[in-house]
Amino acid sequence: MTIELIAIDLDGTLLTNEKKISSKVKDTLAKAKEKGIKVVICTGRPLPGVMSFLKELNLEEVGDYAITYNGALVQETYDGNAIAHHTMSFDDFLEVEAMSQKIGVHCQTLDEKAIYTSNKDISPYTVRESSLVNMPIKYRSVEEMNPNLVISKMMMIDEPDVLDAGIAQFPSSFYEKYTVLKSEAFYLEVLNKAASKGQALKDLSDILSIPKENILAIGDNENDRDMLVFAGVGVAMGNAVEGIKAISDYITDTNELDGVATVIEKLVFNQ
């Protein structure tokens, strides 16, 4: 087996708890790229929220790619060109927004330019997300929302206990219609049913003609699950949630202990 592509989650995986890339991880990924291995960041963030890290890792050249919005969008990082985009319709927006109001949970909607919220009491988690991904917040009532908006994903956001109580009220039909997954204790992602990190990784591997057996994927949370299952080698971080450790082929060190570098050195450079 020869690894040709390394898919890496961002928060909790590539980044330390201080949202930094350690020098060891940076050097290891540079070495991987020099060997001709594709290094692909796979994140729930939009491209503006990851560009500084792509620049730091020299992953914004022609031939570099990123998976963003938890798999709703696969992009060329050089110019942002979309090579696969699974969007949500305005009817989806109305349904998810109505569900959030029914269960009493804050909701936000993202396109490629901004975060929209219909909550006048803007959630501090929306403010956090805005800062994290470098995108502005725009208040819009449901009636004011542009029906032609190209929606990449929606998020239900609230205090963990409030969010979990709301999730418990979802009918089974909601899961049948959308991809629904948790990326943080206070973030629930709602996407087009065809969108996920695993599906996006498949889309990209098909375009690049890379067999899944030659892909190594690294993650830490439930939104990484199908990406780790799809890849030939699925790796859980030492700080990963237990469910992700259980389905992974290998468990590496934590994000604070250069886990990404450790597993690449062991499974890729020594192959």
Partners of residue 137 on adjacent β-strands: 115
**Max CA separation in the chain (angstroms):** 57
* Nearest C-alpha neighbor of 197 from the set 48, 110, 69, 88: 69
Among 9, 11, 111, 158, the active-site one is: 9
In sequence order, what DSSP letters do the residues of the chain get, joined into one string?
----EEEEEIIIIIS-TTS---HHHHHHHHHHHHTT-EEEEE-SS-GGGTHHHHHHTT--STT-EEEEGGGTEEEETTT--EEEE--B-HHHHHHHHHHHHHHT-EEEEE-SS-EEE--SS--HHHHHHHHHHT--EEE--GGGS-TT--B-EEEEE--HHHHHHHHTT--HHHHHHEEEEEEETTEEEEEETT--HHHHHHHHHHHHT--GGGEEEEE-SGGGHHHHHHSSEEEE-TTS-HHHHHH-SEE---GGGTHHHHHHHHHTTT-
Query: What span, in angstroms and rounded, lies between the C-alpha atoms of 6 and 268?
Result: 9
224 is catalytic: no
Residues in CB range of 52: below 8 A, 6 or more apart: none
Residues taking part in catalysis:
9
